[in-house]
A and B are shown apart, each in its own frame.
Chain A
Amino acid sequence: MTFEKRADASPAGNILVPLFSVVLALLTGAVFLWLSGHDPARAYMTMFKGAFGSGYGISETIVKSIPLMLCALGVAIAFKMKLWNIGAEGQLVMGAVGATWVALNFPDYPALVLIPAMFIMGTLCGGIWGMLPAIPRAYLGVNEIITTLMLNYVAILWMEYLVYGPWRDPQGFNFPLTAAFADAARLPTFGDSRVHAGLLIAVVLAVIIYYGMKHTRWGYEVKVIGESETAARYAGMSISKNIILVMMVSGAIAGIAGMAEVSGLMHRLQDSISVGYGYTAIIIAWLSHLHPGAIIAVSILFGGLEAGGYSLQTTGIPAAIVSMLQGLILFFVLGGQILTRYRIVFNSKKVGGN
């Protein structure tokens, strides 16, 4: 059995293979659940109902998908340039910290001032957190996978220091959370659901990124550098400058996710801001082939997985099953990708034609 390179990846394969991979991953997860003494059918039904079975479920799914969309859009931009930004989690946390600082210090300003200020501060903090590892990467070639990841732990500890220390709400019964934000510091929600304006921000950003990548000079440069650094250098593009810029933009978008979480959903900073959305975003970006439209769709699917996993806890199955399933999905997608890039030939002699 050998693999022969396909001349071009088939568009149908690009959609069918991931879809089939997700199904296989869920089946493998079912076998695992069954082996560990749970009823897989009941578990999946509970998850599905929890995620899509009711108006409330659907709104929870969308609420969970908002930070995923934003983080995935952020890491996708970096991935486009073959920069492995694994630090979206920390960038999200720093964005939330920045936005919270504004909300706690200027509670008396009107929403028209406060919300944009929080947005800018969240973007800035996330952007700086993304830029920090980009500088040694651009000028010294220091592996950004490890540095972005290490900064996640630093950001989370910094946030914990704030909510357990100087920012802790004196009226919070000793819980690690800040005081609730003033109404003016809260993003509007749709009707009386918990779905907030962060959804709009994510969709608008997806459109801007799609357009920017396709039709601007900068988008073109990012694409060329991602495909071949040597070619880009010959064309006179500044690689170091673009590395720093791209990582800054990537981090800034994750920072917006953090701002949206505190301003639209939690209305305060608390340590549950970090639940691993930054890592899930990596899977989503990869599954979506870095396409902004696909990211929005896949994020909703993964938001459903998160919301469904939450409702699973009542049945005694640990919610950790969700990240296990996410890992399995990625395994099958990665393994399945060979089918889109190669055709399998079952005899040792080469088949002519093509």
Chain B
Amino acid sequence: METTTIITICTAAITAGTPLLFAALGEIFTERSGIINLGVEGMMLVGAVTGFMVAFLTANPWLGVMAAMFAGGLLALIHAALTVTLRANQVVTGLALTIFGTGLSGYLGKAYIGQPLVSSFKSVKIAFLSDIPIVGPIFFNHDPLVYLSFILVPLAWYYIYRTRMGLNLRAVGENPGSADSLGVSVSFTRYLYTVVGGMLAGVGGAYLSLAYAPSWMENMTAGRGWIAVALVIFAAWNPLYAMLGAYMFGGIDALGFRMQLMDVQVSAYFLSMLPYLCTILVLIIATRRSQTGGVGAPRALGVYYDREER
């Protein structure tokens, strides 16, 4: 392959990976606190539709992103209330959130199908950096949300592993009993990071409808929320690996799309299967790795914390 083709695919991989990255980062925070939220797909869809609606009505994509964050956080709040306060099963509540979010986004978005967006996110070249050969065009010719994710990843890593708040977060997910006895509120921590997770999932959804393919289509996430959940396992709950994984999946996505354009003699339907099949494959590898040493899931993940049964 020529250098330009490689650059094009790598650039596309980052663009296609960014919505996954936002959602996976959010889910890392949530799961680190011991809550598993399988509603990512639903939160992304609602984020995508509210982002689009607000950007459409105000002609300001940034307001769209804010609205998507708010909507995603609000949905996550339902999950937190049901699982933390009302002790509902985390798996089923997450599924309910996805079903609800799919319906809600379809309901809200009905009038916006096929509408053009006046102002969406556009690529901005970063001075000097974008002139670096190969690296420049791959990393520094993107829309502002991609740059935001570049900043967010190291920040998230630093927050989780190097700050007091991050230590508390990890403690709640690993051993809520001892976190509690050290004076960390388990409920508050879980509420907080479930909502943070929802907000980031909302941004991931908004990326799809405001930057990736500026438009609204029913079910436009096409399973990306679920891929993001799988990505968290692949990333071993570490933001840096999540970035790597997101771009890998973005690359698979982009490659399938490129191959269609290059007229490869494989049906488009089979190429579209690639991300889903790769998710299964990667999940198998990641699970094996976490069992043979490596880092596993937070120990209290999915388990309701009952103070009296400590």
Per-position contact with B for A131-148: 1 when CB-CB < 8 Å, else 0? 001001000111101110
Closest A residue, CB atoms, query B39? A327
The verdict on A146 contacting B82 (CB below 8 Å), with A161-B270, A327-B99, A338-B88 known, is no
Which chain A residues numbered 57 to 114 have a C-beta less than 8 Å away from chain B?
84, 86
A324–B92 Cα distance when bound, in Å, is: 15
Complex contact A334–B106 (CB within 8 A): no
Contact A335 B86 (CB under 8 A): yes
Nearest-CB residue, chain B, relative to A279: B99
Q: Is the beta-carbon distance between A84 and B100 smaller than 8 angstroms?
A: no
CB distance from A263 to the nearest CB of B (A): 24
- Tell whether, in the assembled complex, residue A335 and residue B106 are in contact, meaning their CB atoms are under 8 Å apart: no
Residue pair B82, A140 in contact (C-beta under 8 Å): no
A184 to B144, CA, bound (A): 60
Does B104 interact with chain A (Cβ within 8 Å)? yes
Bitwise, B196-239 to A at CB < 8 A (1) or not (0) is 00000000000000000000001000110011011001000000
A33 closest partner in B (C-beta): B107
Are B96 and A140 in contact, CB atoms less than 8 angstroms apart? no
Complex contact A331–B106 (CB within 8 A): no
**Which residues of chain A come closer than 8 Å to B89, judged between CB atoms?**
334
Q: Which of B89, B97, B101, B104 has the most CB of A within 10 A?
A: B104
For the complex, is A288 an interface residue (Cβ under 8 Å from B)? no
Q: How far is the CB of B107 from chain A (nearest CB, A)?
A: 4
Is A290's CB within 8 Å of the partner chain B?
no
Q: Which residues of B contact A322 (CB under 8 A)?
A: 103
A330 contacts B92, CB within 8 Å?
Answer: yes
Given A157-B273, A161-B270, is A337 in contact with B279 using a C-beta cutoff of 8 Å? Answer: no
B87 within 8 A of A: yes
Q: Contact: B103 with A320, CB < 8 Å?
A: yes
Evaluate contact between A323 and B102: CB separation under 8 angstroms: yes
Q: How far is the CA of A334 from the CA of B92 in the complex (A)?
A: 8
CA distance A161 to B268 in the complex (A): 8
Cβ distance A337 to chain B, nearest Cβ, rounded Å: 7
Is B110 among interface residues, defined by CB-CB distance under 8 A? yes
- Across-interface contacts of B104 in A (CB, < 8 A): 320, 324, 327
Q: Which residues of B are found within 8 Å of A145, using beta-carbon distances?
A: 38, 91
- The 4 residue pairs across chains A and B that have the minimum distance between CB atoms: A327-B100, A320-B106, A324-B103, A323-B103
- 18 residue pairs of the A-B complex, CB under 8 angstroms, read A84-B91, A143-B233, A145-B91, A146-B229, A147-B283, A150-B227, A150-B230, A150-B276, A151-B280, A153-B222, A153-B273, A160-B269, A318-B110, A321-B107, A324-B104, A327-B42, A327-B96, A330-B100
**Residue positions of A touching B, CB distance < 8 A:** 3, 36, 84, 86, 133, 136, 140-143, 145-147, 149-151, 153-154, 157-158, 160-161, 164-165, 279-280, 282-283, 286, 318, 320-328, 330-331, 334-335, 337-338, 341-342
- A sample of 6 more A-B contacts (CB under 8 A), given A151-B276, A324-B104, is A133-B280, A146-B280, A146-B283, A150-B230, A324-B103, A330-B99
